[in-house]
Chain A
Amino acid sequence: MRHLHPALWAYVALLSLFLLAPIIVVIVAGFTAGDFIMFPPSGFSLKWFEKVLRDPDFIRPLWNSLRLGVAATLVSTLLAVPAAIALIRGALPGRRAIETFLLAPLTVPTIILAVGLLFFAARIGLTSSFAALLAGHVVITVPYMLRTVLGVYAGMNREVEQAAQVLGARPWQVTWLITLPEIRPGVIAGAIFSFLMSFDEVAVALLLTNSDTTTLPVSILSYLVYNYDPAVAAISTIQIAIVVVALVLLERLFGVKNLMFASR
């Protein structure tokens, strides 16, 4: 522990409280025994969790979100991993330009992408289809995957690959036996980040889903517009729990410090 000013620690504690307050409040509100969201909550019960877990209007979107997140992550991985390897190995003159192009979706507000995708899907007759939704989420998640894998692969010791090659390994053997195992932490971290990005995405899902394909964030959002009861807190708590599990996995596999770089 280094010596920082006590006033700074007090500030850090205060700001940590500010950062965690809305999350804590949502979790606490979900466990209320009362019929309204109020503070302090009246008693403890699991009735709102029971209600939510029996309500198809929340469970169907939850499955949709999980399915969409997994699909978007799989597609992103299949697209980004070969691309990252190709970008690092082939010392192209235009490498920077290609990278900038592939990471560009990160810089555009998702509402614009969502509006564009809606018009685009309408033109080719794919409105509120799973395919259009998946395409939108892949465009959003693939830059995270690419950036994480590029970061890990660029930091890897390439001499092992060269040694294998000198010793007679074929290019596919180098990739399969050396490169992929080496970059695996990056792929896993990228995959978890991709999943979280898709699982949290609102704008594209809001414009491209209908009541059958709607995702969890969208169903929470539309429920909130008309209702304001502890059910929202309960389903939100379930969503937080799913994210926490993903985060713990990420920490175990990749180390929490790397979150700082992956989330940048």
Chain B
Amino acid sequence: MDVTASADGRIASGSRTEREFPTGLVLGLAPIVLVVAVFFVGPLIVNALESLKTPSGPKGLQQYGRIFGDVYYLMVIGQTLLFGIVVTAICAVVGYPMGYAVARSGRQVKALLILIVVAPLLVNVVVRSFGWMVILGGAGAVNAGLRAIGLPKAELMYNWTGVTIAMVHVLLPFMILSVASTIETLDERLEEAARVLGASSTRVFRDITLPLSMEGVVTGAILVFTLTIGSFVTVLLLGKNATMVLPVLIYQQLTVASDWPFAAAMGVTLLGLVSGLLWAQAALRGALGKARP
């Protein structure tokens, strides 16, 4: 595809490309590259440098020693990863049928469903978490319902239950959209063929639709996982101090403890976790790409 496109361009544009190419390209690309380099790469480098500062003076890895040599911080890292895995798994299981419905419904219904799925995405994460506080809190909607039918009060806030529910809500749209867009591009004739040949609808789904849409689940899962382990507003509001994860810890070290080098080292650790995952994804995709013709 790329080859044809560039060959096309060369045939069609001929000498113009040769002449206009360098100035136009530089003028078009230089500003954005400069801005991203200075204000994106720059802060990441400053962050890494900050993490090497030590109270004693010479630069070193002492801050990282503090993180990886302390059971509490290791536990927080473990909790962060586990939280990411649980939220991702729930999103995949809960979101898949919805993604399927979005992809396979008629034009009008599809537009409505997409609107329903995208709407929460566009409402501020602070507001959405606040909505969950209203629903899950001690005097909230769920507990009002429980009280009405004479059941005891449920503790749904300031623990992992509430944080997980709210987090799944925040990230579910990403999973649904990812699954839906994969199922949309799936060739329905394959399913029809299997049906004509006598496969039951369960079997068609299990042996054809599900395996072929796994790519969407994986893409969605990686997105949900990286967003979960990097988010802190929802956890901060619904978990307070009962549910500690790395981003909340970073925020606390920064604002409460004012320990900048330590916060920076935790930031680098979190970035390491995220990039490790993205690298694994790219490697996996590369391997799959090679396996397929």
Residues of chain A touching chain B, judged by Cβ–Cβ distance below 8 Å, are: 1-2, 4, 8-9, 11-12, 15-16, 18-23, 25-26, 29, 36-40, 78-80, 82-83, 85-87, 89-92, 98, 101-102, 104-105, 107-113, 115-120, 123, 135-136, 138-139, 142, 146, 158, 162, 165, 171, 196, 199-200, 202-203, 206-207, 216-217, 220-221, 224, 228, 232-233, 236, 239-240, 243, 246-247, 251, 256-257, 259-261, 263-264
Stretch at the interface among B55-63, B66-74, B127-135: B127-135
User: Which residues of the other chain, A, contact B169 by a CB distance below 8 angstroms?
Assistant: 18-19, 22
Residue in A39, A196, A256, A260 whose beta carbon sits within 8 Å of that of B134 in the complex = A39
User: Which residues of the other chain, B, contact A85 by a CB distance below 8 angstroms?
Assistant: 28
Of all chain A residues, the one with the shortest Cβ separation from B247 is: A111
A171 near B125 (CB under 8 angstroms)?
no
Residue in B13, B98, B130 whose beta carbon sits within 8 Å of that of A165 in the complex = B13
A39 near B105 (CB under 8 angstroms)?
no
User: Which residues of the other chain, A, contact B44 by a CB distance below 8 angstroms?
Assistant: 108, 112-113, 116
Known: A86-B28, A115-B264. A256 touches B114 (CB 8 A): yes
User: 8 pairs across A/B with beta carbons < 8 Å?
Assistant: A36-B139, A83-B29, A83-B32, A120-B43, A139-B35, A142-B32, A256-B111, A256-B118
Q: Is B167 an interface residue (CB 8 A)?
A: no
A104 near B29 (CB under 8 angstroms)?
no
B144 near A38 (CB under 8 angstroms)?
yes
By secondary structure, the A interface counts as helix
A39 near B101 (CB under 8 angstroms)?
no
Known: A117-B39, A138-B39. A220 touches B250 (CB 8 A): no
Known: A89-B24, A116-B44, A247-B122. A4 touches B101 (CB 8 A): yes
Of all chain B residues, the one with the shortest Cβ separation from A121 is: B43
Report Cα–Cα, A78/B122, bound state, in Å. 24
Stretch at the interface among B189-197, B206-214, B225-233, B284-292: B225-233
Q: 17 other contacts beyond A29-B134, A86-B29, A117-B43, with CB at 8 A cut-off?
A: A15-B97, A23-B119, A23-B120, A25-B131, A83-B33, A90-B24, A109-B274, A110-B230, A112-B271, A113-B40, A115-B264, A116-B43, A118-B254, A120-B39, A136-B39, A203-B233, A217-B125
Report Cα–Cα, A143/B172, bound state, in Å. 22
User: Which residues of the other chain, A, contact B226 by a CB distance below 8 angstroms?
Assistant: 107, 109
A22 near B35 (CB under 8 angstroms)?
no
Q: How far is the CB of A225 from chain B (nearest CB, A)?
A: 8
Report Cα–Cα, A259/B139, bound state, in Å. 36
Interface string of B1-21 (1 = CB under 8 A from A): 000011011101100110011
Interface string of B85-106 (1 = CB under 8 A from A): 0000000001001101100111
- Closest 5 interchain pairs by CB? A109-B230, A22-B131, A86-B28, A116-B43, A91-B6
Residues of chain B touching chain A, judged by Cβ–Cβ distance below 8 Å, are: 5-6, 8-10, 12-13, 16-17, 20-21, 24-25, 27-29, 31-33, 35-36, 38-40, 42-44, 46-47, 50, 94, 97-98, 100-101, 104-106, 108-111, 113-135, 139-141, 144, 166, 169, 172-173, 177-178, 180-181, 226-227, 229-233, 237, 247, 250-251, 254, 260, 263-264, 267, 270-271, 274-275, 278
Residue in B42, B144, B231 whose beta carbon sits within 8 Å of that of A120 in the complex = B42
B123 near A139 (CB under 8 angstroms)?
no
